[in-house]
Structure 1
Amino acid sequence: MNTPDPQPAYRWVVVTAGALILAISMGAIVNGMSAFIVPMQAQFGWSRGDTTLINFAGILGLAFGGLVMGPQADRRGTRPVVLFGVIVLGASYVTASYLTALWQFYLLFFIAGFFGAGAIFPPIMAAVGNWFLMGAGVAIGIASAGQALGQGGVPFVSSLLIEWVGVSKAFAVIGAFMLMTLVPLSLLLRQPPAPSGANDPAQQDAPWTGLPTSVVITYLSAAIILCCTCMAVPLMHLVPLIQDRGFAPEQAGSVIFVMLMVAILGRLAFGKLADMIGALPAYITATAWMTVMVYGFVYIEDLNTFYVYAMIYGFGYAGVMTGVLVSIRVLVTPARRASAFAIVTMFGWFGHAIGGYQGGLLYDLTGDYAVPYSVAALAGILNLVIVSTLFRKQKSFLLRPSLS
């Protein structure tokens, strides 16, 4: 006889709406600017490093904004905070269509990240986890897959828009689209039912690991800043790299679109792998996959090879963020899980900003992408060292005899 599912059916509405909101908003703020780098360089005459710094400003705003806006969601509820965030983000893109000075883009995208994306990402990920007290790994994987969808789709669509209407009108169209779609999706978000005290499944879903929370946060923060530095290089600079090989912007955008469509499957697959072999081993596997392959992009000259290589890379790299999120859930007790999530992901956004900016800066200094992709591979290696050390600490605590 099948046992009825005790969790509310509305949780699927929340996770679906959350995944779609993350797809559009995070696709725009995390690497949506990748499609604009070369066109803005041509239109305004700015260097590639200076143009990439717009993306740096947006992600820096997201990193700090999450620490401020996340607690607001705890106090005011998920819906009003996310609604505020999507309005700010959409309005910022519309405003960008009128800008002509570099410093204006820096300021605007920092605001878009702080009050826009910062009010979207932490509250939605926390809400998904709260609605899915049992089997939260699958839900987190779905929401994370939505982000991957946007990180591939937004640059691809942006490339097409830039070709059709130019840089300024492309910003305006994207901003209007965000306002028309994200506002109604935000209205679908609700608070989960209150947990039932001692029978709260969240307590059953948090096995004790013996590791102090401060240790977990420290190691995961150091690891994620390195793994995101690594992954940000192809996310921001694969499109320009392919364009440098002589291919059209829409062809370059289609490669990263295909890569991140495959990444949707990767995020789900590594969520399942985490259930099978553990969160940290799954995280290590995904990071090793990404690290081994990231430098290979610089050797490719053929468009078909870019497609194949990007798909293989994308499936493995996608498991990194799923591994991080599931690791936080497994290694941190429920009472401190929200704050741990905010702190660790803040360092992840720092890594994204650093990786994207150093790619443009080192390209300007060397005239080639070999050095930026080398730095990405080195960051991946250092991340593996840190996560492997944390895994060994976890095993040693679990094997330590009880003193009680």
Structure 2
Amino acid sequence: MIIAVTALGMFTQSTETFNVLSVFLAPMNAEFGWSRTQFAGAMSLGSLLGGAIALFVGPLIDRFGPRVALGIAFGLVGAAFVLMNWITSLWEFYALQTIARMMSNGVTGVALGIIIPKWFIEKRGRAVALGSVGSQAGSTITPLYVQLLVNLYGWRVAAVVAGIVIWLLSFFPAIIFMRRQPEDLGLLPDGATPEKADDKSLPVADLREPQISLGFHEVKRIPAYYLLIASICTTWLIRTGVTLHMIPFFMDHGFSSSLAVLVLACYATSGIAGAVIWGYSADRFGARKSLTLDTFLIGLGAAALLMAGSYIWLAFLWAIFWGIVLTGQMTLQKIIFADYFGRGRLGSISGVVTAFQTIAQALGPVVAALAYDTYDSYLVAFVGFALVSFIGSACVYLSRPPDRANA
């Protein structure tokens, strides 16, 4: 049930990602005469504020659980999309999207990222992969139905429907079913019960390995923590910088808006396979090795996008590759912090990570937009993204988990 509710939350959280917001970019800019930089600025402002509140949200989730936090966040994000039906000016758009991005990044991003790692240890990679399928399914389906509604009824109706879907699929399930950790229900991680834990022949994770559980004051003295933050910042800079501008990029190369959305949907669909691949890779080879490779491949993908607009078949081939590697970053990020630092204060640790992450997340769309507005091309931005990603890959490789025996 926890995996299912988390997957539903990730499904609707995709509404406030750049995959979906990029569908609104062209029709809204055409109606109001905004630049791409102005549109991206609203997302960036909300991301920065989300990072600020994540510092406080993480410890609260550790203490009280995610149910109330997710209920408030999904309620406000849904309301922001519904209210977009009535906006007439840039400041109104900024007000609504700032709230939505702040809740998405600062609350749901933190909460949904730590729920499954708190419930699973032995099966963590596979469990996170299954939960991440919801995110990729949302990234596939949501842009398609939003684009269809935009084509049939306009972007305002599409925004209202998107908001209602958020309420139905995430607000109510989170309030009813979400729980903090298995111990609150008298269970153990990986679905074990205390009775099973007494049977030494059963593979209960708590009995198989010494468990590490560090707080932020301990974690901040570990070099690996900062290396991982640096790497995550590079990949989120690229992720948001490329994704928000993906549809405009392909439309600039002669693709129709519907075809560009199909490319985006292909990328999101391949991410379902990517979540499973990288989840099993983490269980088999370890999160550090898997994330090192994945971060390097993200850089290659950013540079390869410059050629993907030349042919339709090449665009879809690139989308498959991009979906697989980009989903790896999301999946492995959830796993590696729990593997390195434990479950006990994962919300506090992730909240600080989110604060740094959202700075990069906010800069990505603006950097790409400024590059386009300045040079009438994404060349400088995408090549720069690739170089930054290679540095991030080196950071992951150099990180080392703390010694469990001395933690």
TM-score, normalising length: structure 1:
0.86
Deviation at 1:193, TM superposition (A): 3.7
Matches within 5 A, 1:42-53: 42-53=30-41
* CA distance 1:220–1:282, shift in 2 (3 Å): same
Output the CA distance in 2 between the equivalents of 1:150 and 1:18: 12
What secondary structure, in the 3-state scheme, does the structure 2 residue paired with 1:318 have? helix
* SS of the residue 2:254 aligns to: coil
Deviation at 1:348, TM superposition (A): 2.6
2:100 is aligned to: 112
Tell whether the 8 Å contact from 1:85 to 1:117 is kept in structure 2 after alignment: no
Contact kept, 8 Å, 1:231 with 1:376, in 2: the verdict is: no
The match for 1:381 among 390, 399, 402 is: 390
Report the Cα offset of residue 263 of structure 1: 0.9
The aligned length equals 383
- Cα deviation, residue 204, structure 1: 5.3
Residues 231-255 of structure 1 deviation map (CA, whole Å, 9 limit, x = unaligned)? 2232111111111112221111111
Counterpart secondary structure, 1:97: helix
Which amino acid is 1:188 matched to?
F
Structure 2 distance, partners of 1:44, 1:375, is: 31
In the TM superposition, what is the alpha-carbon distance from 1:305 to its structure 2 partner? 1.7
How many Å apart are 1:203 and its aligned residue?
A: 8.0
One-letter amino acid of the counterpart of residue 242, structure 1: F
Q: Establish whether residue 23 from structure 1 lines up as the match of residue 11 from structure 2.
A: yes
2:219 maps to a residue whose letter is: T
Task: After superposing the two structures, state which structure 1 stretch, 183-192 or 101-110, moved more.
Answer: 183-192
* Residues 259-303 of structure 1: per-residue CA shift (max 9 Å, x gap): 111111112211111111111100011111111222111123222
Unaligned runs of 5+ in 2: 189-193, 198-203
CA contact (8 A) 2:371 2:381 kept: yes
Deviates more, 1:226-235 or 1:185-194: 185-194
Choose 107-116 or 215-224, whichever is displaced more: 107-116
| Corresponding residue number in structure 2 for 1:6 | none
Q: Residue 219 of structure 2 aligns with which residue?
A: 213
Write out aligned runs for 1:239-388 (5 A). 239-299=247-307, 300-388=309-397
Say whether the 8 Å CA contact 1:259–1:311 is kept in structure 2: yes
Cα deviation code 1:155-183 (max 9, x no counterpart): 33222222111122221221122223222
**2:164 equivalent to 1:183:** no
Match of 1:94 among 66, 77, 82: 82
Q: Which amino acid aligns with 1:190?
A: R
Higher mean C-alpha displacement, 135-144 vs 239-248:
135-144
2:116 is aligned, of 122, 125, 128, to 128
- Classify the secondary structure of the residue corresponding to 1:247: coil
Give, as a single letter, the amino acid of the residue that structure 2 aligns with 1:220.
Answer: L
The counterpart of 2:246, out of the listed 238, 242, 256, is 238
What's the C-alpha RMSD, in Å, of the aligned pairs?
A: 2.7
Show CA shifts across 1:74-123 (max 9, x none). 34432222111111110011112211222222222221233455332322
What residue identity is the alignment partner of 2:137?
L
Where 2:122 maps in the other structure, the secondary structure is coil
Q: Which amino acid aligns with 1:334?
A: R
Task: Name the SS for the 2:86 alignment partner.
Answer: coil
1:56-75 Cα shifts (integer Å, max 9, x gaps) = 23333432333333333334
Give the direction of change, closer, same or farther, for the CA distance of 1:137–1:48 in structure 2 (3 Å limit).
same
TM-score by length of 2: 0.86
The 1-side partners of 2:396 and 2:52 are apart by 24
Structure 2 counterpart of 1:376, which letter? Answer: F
Aligned equivalents of 2:15, 2:170: Cα separation in 1:
13
CA contact (8 A) 2:64 2:180 kept: no
Cα deviation code 1:191-241 (max 9, x no counterpart): 44427899794585666699x722232111111111111222321111111
Instruction: Evaluate the alpha carbon distance shift between residue 220 and residue 27 of structure 1 in structure 2; reply closer, same or farther with a 3 A threshold.
Output: farther
Q: Corresponding residue for 1:4?
A: none
Among candidates 138, 142, 145, match of residue 154 of structure 1: 142
Letter of the structure 1 residue corresponding to residue 141 of structure 2:
G
Q: In structure 2, do the counterparts of structure 1 residues 369 and 30 end up closer, same or farther at CA, with 3 Å as the change threshold?
A: closer
State the alpha-carbon separation in 2 of the partners of residues 314 and 152 from structure 1: 10
Is this contact kept in 2: 1:63–1:346, CA < 8 A?
yes
Measured after TM superposition, the shift of residue 30 of structure 1 is 4.6
User: Contact 1:263 / 1:315 at 8 angstroms: preserved in 2?
Assistant: yes
For residue 47 of structure 1, report the CA deviation from its aligned partner.
0.8
> Is the Cα–Cα contact under 8 Å of residues 117 and 334 in structure 2 kept in the other structure?
no
Q: Distance in 2 between matches of 1:203 and 1:71?
A: 27
